[in-house]
Amino acid sequence: MNSLTLIPALFLSFFLNINQIQIQELFGKWQLVYFDGIERIRKSPQFLNADSATQANMQYRIQYRLESTVYQFSAGDSLKFTDFENQQLVLKKAKVKLDDQNILTIYEGNEVRQAKIVEFDANKLVLQPISQNPGAGKLVFERIIEKKEK
């Protein structure tokens, strides 16, 4: 292999490594602000044909779910997150791993879930769950900036 063909390969390798996210970059709290599945609900015939009181109730529940879904990544590959079980908000803990393809694996008890980080910057995290479930749409999180106490 001559040096001219090696340059594009090195450039491509360098470019791909720049996009690799480090787990430490995720540290902090992230608020769910958008979920594709919610948009499907809002566009569904059941929602669109519901009376205004039912729609308002559903909108309230959707908003509550968004506002209540927070992921907190911290050292030790640890994740604390809120989830709903039987209509109740619960705090859960899990271990996480981030591979070099930006696949986030969440280990919670016997359950293992994966999501591809498809977009990331200092204030935005977009996850695409890796699932057989067709309702597993993108989740968009925004970083929660903690206010410093004076």
pLDDT in tens, 13-59: 444 444 688 999 999 999 999 988 888 888 899 989 999 999 999 89
Tokens representing 107 are: 């280990």
Mean pLDDT, to the nearest integer, of 119-143?
88
**Do residues 27 and 75 make contact, with C-beta atoms less than 8 angstroms apart?**
yes
> Residue 140 — very low, low, confident or very high, per pLDDT cuts 50/70/90?
very high
pLDDT band at 112 (very low <50, low <70, confident <90, very high): very high
Distance CA 29, CA 70 (A): 7
**What are the two backbone dihedrals, phi and then psi, of residue 57, each rounded to the nearest 5 degrees?**
-65, -45
Task: Give mean pLDDT, residues 65-94.
Answer: 90
How many residues comprise the chain? 150
Confidence of residue 92 (pLDDT cuts 50, 70, 90): very high
Give whole-number Cα distances, 100 to 12, 119, 144, in Å: 15, 15, 25
Tokens of 75: 């050292």
Tell me the CA distances in angstroms from 123 to 103, 126, 137, one per residue in order: 19, 10, 20
| Strand positions, DSSP E, the chain | 28-35, 70-74, 78-85, 88-98, 103-108, 111-120, 124-130, 139-144
